[in-house]
Amino acid sequence: MNVVFTVLLIVSVVVTIKSNQANADSSFRRVCYWSSWAYYRTGNGKFTEANFDASICTHMIYAFTKLSDQNTIAAFDPYLDVDKGMYKHFNNLRQKNPKLKTLVAIGGWGEGSDKYSAMANNAGHRKTFIDSVVKFIGQHGFNGLDLDWEYPGQSARGDGDRQPGNEADKQAFVDLLRELNVAFKPHGYLLTAAVGAGRSIIDRGYNVPEMNKYLDFINLMTYDLHGSWEQKTGHHAALHSGPGDNEQDKMLTVESAVDYWLKLGAEPKKLIVGIPFYGRTFKLQSPQNNGINAPANGGGSAGPYTKSSGFIGYNEICENQSKWSVHWDDQRKATYAVMGTEWVGYDNEQSIMAKVDFIKSNGLGGAMVWAIETDDFNGLCGKGKFPLLNAINNGLK
């Protein structure tokens, strides 16, 4: 073998290895939740099976199912989920995109924590639950389960109101994940979990190295870090901290939450960063003092579709974009908007691209969105359908 051929061969091998590494690094997950109650919204906020796009996400999660009094998984809305065939419509998206994985989520804020604690801390109840989940997934044709217990070790009720719960939940949660993992393996089902971003929630509820063993990936809920339960405005999903933030505020950022999960041993490629497609709103005390950390009294006015004070969908913001004065905080990499005494912090394409860069630079597993039905899915704001979701998709390709 001559010297020139040897050099060319080495160069070829190095290029191939780097190319393969690049391809491996580019396989980011794009995890998309759909909250089924959006089916009942009115006007342009109503989201039905006709609005699904199977091409943008790698994983789609149907939210939610519930835990029955018999410790079994159960349809949250049997009329919509089963009678109207929404489970079927959801899973049929794989016919349009065979690479798509569909999961069903159980839990959520409205379900609370206590009944999950009671189930997980009893071996017999865990078995009943797990057997029912395996049967449910097979019966309805999902690819796996997303466990959204909010939160182990907490007894949570109301925005911002998280009371200490059962300390045994931390181990019980691991036991539940381990036993679900064992039961899922013969079927090839995926097992994921939606987890909290606040340090008190993490410390009390999660054994991160053990969770790594049993979960295919971890959906980090890096939003709702601030809200109308506070007396000052705060961006609920800012990437970084900024001027005027106190020590507590500095921990309530996407960067801080991700760093803490990684410090505790989360596998970077399993950590999926949550991006909200909605804003948290406040009522300003004075329209003249309208930046981040400005004095506020409660939540802003309800939107026409989501109809909830303190919360507004991106679609509700952008459809009225001419009425809002939009501001960019370059240090926090965060967008907020003001309309009189109305104040909202939210994500748009600019802040999303900053988060995409953050995901890439930290070698993380991808992005998760809550939720697709508050994107501009009708394309009414002049940037085509699903502008936020497409920003993530294009950035992570």
Sheet of 342-346: strands edge to edge?
A: 311-313, 278-283, 342-346, 334-339, 325-329
Catalytic position from the list 49, 111, 150, 316: 150
Catalytic site includes residue 267: no
Residues assigned a catalytic role: 150
